[in-house]
Amino acid sequence: MGWRLPDGARVKATFDTQFVTYEEDKDRWVVVFERNLTDLSGVDAQARALIEALAGKWAYVPSDARNGVTLPLKHETLTGRIRFFYEADPRSGRTS
């Protein structure tokens, strides 16, 4: 995944991911991010903490991401202002 930060910098993070299920009708995967694999040494402390906090979160991920495509996300997904990551399986209805 990649983000453009408020200061215009860009950051990319790679996670180990558990693929839970594929939703064929929407061509997307339900996944759990397990652990951050990227060296984030060039990222400020606030952005680093937000990215590291994604371990254990759930998300719907478009199937083209499994082909090595970096998902370009808005910074608001890190802060939760745009819902992309969930605390639990988003299909269960209990997502926060």
**Residues near 49 by Cβ (< 8 Å), separated by ≥ 6?**
none
Write the pLDDT tens digit of every residue in 30-86.
999 998 778 887 788 888 899 999 999 999 999 887 777 788 899 999 999 999 999
Write the pLDDT tens digit of every residue in 29-44.
999 999 877 888 778 8
Is residue 75 within a helix (H) or strand (E), and if so which, with residue range? helix 75-79
Q: Torsions phi, psi of 78, nearest 5?
A: -70, -40
Distance, in Å, from the CA atom of 44 to the CA atom of 48, rounded to the nearest integer, reads 6
pLDDT at 37: 77
Strand partners, 40: none
